[in-house]
Amino acid sequence: MKFTVERKTLIKMLKLLSVGGVPRDAHLRIAAQDERLILTLEDYAGTEFAADVAEEGVCFFRHQQLVPLLRSYKGVKTLTIAVTSDGIKIGNSTIGRGLWEISLFQNPAAAPQQLKIKPPKTAREVESEKQKMLDL
């Protein structure tokens, strides 16, 4: 997934999504297709605008991580953002996939509307599973 967009427009659209507050762990969905960028934030309404899309796709990552990075490029009019299986590259910054918990779907038609992440298992659940395996 790869697209080029005006930095100010992207920040403005992200701010529109966050009016009224956003849960800290909310996942932002970015869909790049048909020369459009479509941003949605879990159960909140989405927004879309024109972008130069070089490679279509859909990605998810935590909303709170993107805005500070975009602000660090003050004075830059446009940014090229590329999301790969290894991570995300924004301007001169490259962030590993594990650090930002990025999920990428190269086929927008097959991508989910929301990212469902299972909470980690409790110690009790882990012990219960171990006991079940020993009982076999």
* CA gap 4, 42 in Å, rounded: 24
Map out the domains of the chain with their CATH numbers: 2-135 (3.10.150.10)
| pLDDT in the model for residue 1 | 95
| pLDDT in the model for residue 42 | 75
pLDDT tens digit sequence for 44-58? 668 889 999 999 999
* CA gap 54, 6 in Å, rounded: 15
Q: Please give the structure tokens belonging to residue 11.
A: 């920040």
Percentage of the chain with pLDDT > 90?
Answer: 30
| Nearby residues of 110 by Cβ (< 8 Å), 6 or more positions away | none
| Contact (Cβ atoms closer than 8 angstroms) between residue 37 and residue 48 | yes
| pLDDT in the model for residue 101 | 73
Spatial CA neighbour of 74 closest among 1, 4, 7, 6: 7
| pLDDT in the model for residue 136 | 66
CA angle 47, 48, 54 (to 5 degrees): 145
pLDDT tens digit sequence for 9-18? 998 888 888 7
In this prediction, the residues of the chain whose per-residue pLDDT falls under 50 are none
| Nearby residues of 90 by Cβ (< 8 Å), 6 or more positions away | 69, 70, 73, 79, 80, 81
Q: Please give the structure tokens belonging to residue 66.
A: 């993107």
pTM recorded for the entire structure: 0.78
